[in-house]
A and B are shown apart, each in its own frame.
Chain A
Amino acid sequence: MMERDLMDIRAETDELTTDKMWVIMGPQHPFSHGLWTLKVELDGEIITDAEPIVGYLHRGWEKECENRPYAKIVPMADRLCYAASMTYSHLYCMTVEKALDIEVPEKAQYIRVVSDEICRISSHLMWLAAVGTDLGNFTVFLWCMREREYWMDLFVRLCGARMTTNYPRIGGVRNDITDLFDRDVDRCTEHFEKSLWDIITLIDDSSIFVSRMKGTGILTREQCVNLGITGPAMRGNGVDFDIRRDDPYETYGKIDFEVPVMNDGDSYSRYMVRVEELFQSCRIIKQAMQKIRAIGKNAPYRLKVPTNVPACTAMCRLEDPRGESLMYLVADGSGKPYRLKVRSPIFTNVSASKPLVVGSRIADVPAIMAMIDMCLGETDR
């Protein structure tokens, strides 16, 4: 058909017809926090379809575990997620301990609670920083990263590393907390509770920030449950569930804290849930540190454990900063796991990106996906 004819046909139709176009966001796109692709179909600026693609970072983590002794998987576990590395080591250790049917000393349990919460705070701070850049505000990024440094310093006090913190061990933790850690954790918590307000004021008092968040990326409660979304993204949708409270592990059952839940189901409620979680984490750390001090300095913090795990299966889950992390271990009685399966929260949350972004504008995609808090290390494994 000649071009002229085509134009005549177009002119005769009553409606304005528009062509749709696929735009690829990722893997090097600035909005993607890590290597993944979000293909979106655009009608003008409105998204009509979306397709997440993961797998760029896949490195056969689970398969690799099958060729390593149990103890040597611990330093691998914290490579799963660079933002919350200690929770994955913790989860792995917990799973093996369950298979061994041992209970770690109370002091180690409290130390693990403290380290998990520090992880949660530093991970949430990194999320908040990324939200800043996704919405075009670099100040938020730098302020959050500045605050995160104090918590990184605490990691250094605890285990000597900043990112890939190799600290939990099967049967406890590597070493007792030092006096410097004991001193700094209080300072850090108090300082953080004040300085977080600066960041919140910068974000929450800005009507642009709130208007970018409210009413975007809406999911219903049913959709959220059916898609398997967990963590703060789920609690932002009105689902009141937190493993720390409803299926407590370690000593979370002995600590008093609240689980923030918001009912709007949009990006803003996810943001609010995470910010409130930051305060709650401080509360947990304070209580846990009091308990550790009460237990005393010379209490045991680690058990001796056998090298081989008896043939059995064990499953453990914990509340990661991003949602529910789960490990399933099949042991065959040897010194290496027969199979180790990881369920990471973001892998499930990524699959929800289509219902999250369809119908919104392309400018909303970074904001919506930032509220899911992407971390591709654990997603691709």
Chain B
Amino acid sequence: MAYSSILNWITFNDLMQNPWYPYGNTYNLPFDIAYKLWEIIGGAIAWLINLLIPGNAVSTWLISDGVCVGGALIIFMIVIFLVVFICTLISLWMERKVLGRVMDRRGTMIGMKGFLQCVADGLKTFMKENTIPKKVDKMTYMWTLSLVIGVSVLIACMIPLSGRWFVVNYDTGLLIIMAFFALAPFFILVSGWAQNNKYSLIGGMRAAELMISYEVPMLIMISSACLLAGSFNIGDIVNAQRDVWFIIPMIVGFITFLFCATAEAERTPFDIAEAEAELVEGWQTEYAGMKWGLIMLGDYFRGYVSCAMITIIFLGGWNIPFVSDSVNNFLPEVVFLLKTWFVFFLMIMIRAALPRVRTDQIVNIGWKVFMPLSVVNFVIVLLLKLGGIY
């Protein structure tokens, strides 16, 4: 396609007609935004070059289909990350404000009702010196940290905000998220060893202990939801809850899953891997400055994902019950995020009210309480399915 005028920048008014569109027949809003953004940015660059050297090949190349899609994909990644990042920052801000209210204080107060405090804290952490202890296993120390944070960000980006806002739409979406979730404790275990610090080592061991106690019941509950919906695809699970949310048939599962998800995000009362009172900061002891800041952010990413999973599995995802499709399709992303933050609010209240459990207690809770409850939930779902109600 030859470059002729500025109007030619927007090559395909309908995204679906673009042969390079990576989503086939499914409409993806963030990619659409990214595509339009690239058209503006790439087009502007092409236009500027064309002003200097008229009729050059670079301008034409910049707005060709392949480059458009490639540039759009890069912007797409940035857009997705920014949205996830801001959602996480809002969770962080919410936690500080709600905890403040419960604890009879104000919480953060600087700028935009305290929201800018998170940014200021981030900047402050960023400015701190990047210290690495002398006797750590440097390779493992840095790599495990990157992997823990990387996996956290990856699963956060895997969460769809609506039927049109997603990164990938695999048929086994929920399983992939769970698989990524289960990876982090391994890295924590190795990282605890690599730090050459006894507190970190114990913290790392505890992360593994934590994982074997809640991961199995959680998977059973996820399979219950998938059985009810008849698919592992996140979109299908949400669409199956168009009329009745899964929280109604699976109320036992919801309560159990809420606690399992709290454990998954390593939040109080299940934050035994980083137990401050006895292990200083557990596996994070030797990470200082921005490394610690990123760990913190990764924790909140995981908290956000845990809440999002509860929203997807039990609270009907981006659906509002008893409204028409036109209302429902207006801003499903906002509905989804509001539900997610409501679940996060529950987690904050749990954090405010409960002390930390002991290591043997969490294994007991996991195997003697969560496990039977999840099996009960599974049996209920099985009966509902066999009875033909679902």
- Residues of A within 8 Å of B104, CB to CB, are 142-143, 146
- Residues of B within 8 Å of A140, CB to CB, are 355
Q: Is the Cβ of A135 less than 8 Å from the Cβ of B277?
A: yes
Q: How far, in Å, is B279 (CB) from chain A's closest CB?
A: 8
Q: Is the Cβ of B277 less than 8 Å from the Cβ of A139?
A: no
Across the interface, A45 reaches (CB within 8 A) one of B99, B269, B354, B359, namely: B359
Q: Is the Cβ of A143 less than 8 Å from the Cβ of B103?
A: yes
Q: Is the Cβ of B105 less than 8 Å from the Cβ of A25?
A: no
Q: Is the Cβ of A30 less than 8 Å from the Cβ of B355?
A: no
- Residues of A within 8 Å of B271, CB to CB, are 136
Complex alpha-carbon distance, A139 and B269, angstroms: 13
Contact residues of B between 91 and 127, Cβ < 8 Å to A: 99, 102-105
- Residues of B within 8 Å of A136, CB to CB, are 268-269, 271, 275-277, 355-356
Contact residues of A between 194 and 216, Cβ < 8 Å to B: 202, 206, 208-209, 211-212
In the assembled complex, A364 has its CB within 8 A of some CB on chain B: yes
Complex alpha-carbon distance, A146 and B102, angstroms: 13
By beta carbon, the residue of chain B nearest A136 is B356
Q: Is the Cβ of A363 less than 8 Å from the Cβ of B355?
A: no
Complex alpha-carbon distance, A31 and B279, angstroms: 9
Complex alpha-carbon distance, A134 and B198, angstroms: 19
Contact residues of B between 343 and 357, Cβ < 8 Å to A: 352-357
In the assembled complex, B280 has its CB within 8 A of some CB on chain A: yes
In the assembled complex, B199 has its CB within 8 A of some CB on chain A: yes
Complex alpha-carbon distance, A365 and B275, angstroms: 12
Contact residues of A between 346 and 366, Cβ < 8 Å to B: 361-366
Across the interface, A206 reaches (CB within 8 A) one of B199, B278, B280, B355, namely: B355
Select the residue from B199, B271, B279, B358 with max chain A CB neighbours within 10 A. Answer: B358
In the assembled complex, B361 has its CB within 8 A of some CB on chain A: yes
Query: How many B residues are at the interface, by size bracket?
Result: 20 to 34
In the assembled complex, A138 has its CB within 8 A of some CB on chain B: yes
Q: Is the Cβ of A23 less than 8 Å from the Cβ of B198?
A: yes
Across the interface, A362 reaches (CB within 8 A) one of B105, B202, B352, B355, namely: B202
Across the interface, A134 reaches (CB within 8 A) one of B277, B280, B352, B359, namely: B277
In the assembled complex, A21 has its CB within 8 A of some CB on chain B: yes
Q: Interface residue count for A (Cβ, 8 Å)?
A: 32
Q: Is the Cβ of B278 less than 8 Å from the Cβ of A363?
A: yes
- Residues of A within 8 Å of B198, CB to CB, are 21, 23
By beta carbon, the residue of chain B nearest A23 is B198
- Residues of B within 8 Å of A31, CB to CB, are 277-278
In the assembled complex, B272 has its CB within 8 A of some CB on chain A: yes
In the assembled complex, A236 has its CB within 8 A of some CB on chain B: no
In the assembled complex, B360 has its CB within 8 A of some CB on chain A: yes
- Residues of A within 8 Å of B352, CB to CB, are 137-139
Complex alpha-carbon distance, A136 and B272, angstroms: 10
- Residues of B within 8 Å of A139, CB to CB, are 99, 102-103, 352-353
Complex alpha-carbon distance, A209 and B272, angstroms: 15
Complex alpha-carbon distance, A320 and B358, angstroms: 32
Q: Is the Cβ of A366 less than 8 Å from the Cβ of B355?
A: no
Complex alpha-carbon distance, A366 and B280, angstroms: 11
Complex alpha-carbon distance, A136 and B278, angstroms: 10
Contact residues of A between 21 and 57, Cβ < 8 Å to B: 21, 23, 25, 29-31, 42, 45
Q: How far, in Å, is A26 (CB) from chain B's closest CB?
A: 11
- Residues of B within 8 Å of A337, CB to CB, are none
Complex alpha-carbon distance, A137 and B202, angstroms: 21
User: Interface 1/0s, chain B 175-213, versus A by CB < 8 A?
Assistant: 000000000000000000000001100100000000000
In the assembled complex, A231 has its CB within 8 A of some CB on chain B: no
Question: Knowing A136-B355, A208-B354 touch, does A362 contact B278 (C-beta < 8 A)?
Answer: yes
Complex alpha-carbon distance, A206 and B269, angstroms: 11
- Residues of B within 8 Å of A25, CB to CB, are 278
Q: Is the Cβ of A208 less than 8 Å from the Cβ of B357?
A: yes
- Residues of A within 8 Å of B359, CB to CB, are 45, 361, 363
By beta carbon, the residue of chain B nearest A134 is B277
Q: Is the Cβ of A135 less than 8 Å from the Cβ of B355?
A: yes
Complex alpha-carbon distance, A209 and B355, angstroms: 6
User: Interface 1/0s, chain B 274-305, versus A by CB < 8 A?
Assistant: 01111110000000000000000000000000
- Residues of B within 8 Å of A142, CB to CB, are 103-105
By beta carbon, the residue of chain B nearest A29 is B280
Across the interface, A364 reaches (CB within 8 A) one of B105, B272, B358, namely: B358
Q: Is the Cβ of B277 less than 8 Å from the Cβ of A212?
A: no
- Residues of A within 8 Å of B355, CB to CB, are 132, 135-137, 140, 206, 208-209, 212
Q: How far, in Å, is B245 (CB) from chain A's closest CB?
A: 29
By beta carbon, the residue of chain A nearest B269 is A208
Complex alpha-carbon distance, A45 and B269, angstroms: 19
Q: Is the Cβ of B353 less than 8 Å from the Cβ of A206?
A: yes
- Residues of A within 8 Å of B353, CB to CB, are 137, 139, 202, 206
- Residues of B within 8 Å of A287, CB to CB, are none
- Residues of B within 8 Å of A137, CB to CB, are 268, 352-356
Contact residues of B between 125 and 140, Cβ < 8 Å to A: none
Complex alpha-carbon distance, A146 and B100, angstroms: 13
Select the residue from A25, A42, A139, A365 with max chain B CB neighbours within 10 A. Answer: A139
- Residues of A within 8 Å of B361, CB to CB, are 208, 211-212
In the assembled complex, A308 has its CB within 8 A of some CB on chain B: no
Across the interface, B276 reaches (CB within 8 A) one of A30, A208, A362, A364, namely: A30
By beta carbon, the residue of chain B nearest A130 is B277
User: Interface 1/0s, chain A 93-104, versus B by CB < 8 A?
Assistant: 000000000000
Starting from the known contacts A208-B269, A363-B275, A363-B359, 10 additional A-B residue pairs (CB-CB under 8 Å) come to: A21-B198, A42-B202, A139-B99, A146-B104, A208-B355, A209-B354, A211-B361, A362-B202, A363-B272, A365-B278
5 residue pairs from A and B, CB less than 8 Å apart: A23-B202, A30-B280, A208-B357, A208-B361, A366-B277
Chain A residues proximal to chain B, CB less than 8 Å = 21, 23, 25, 29-31, 42, 45, 132-140, 142-143, 146, 202, 206, 208-209, 211-212, 361-366
Q: Which are the 4 A-B pairs with shortest beta-carbon distances?
A: A136-B356, A135-B355, A137-B355, A366-B277
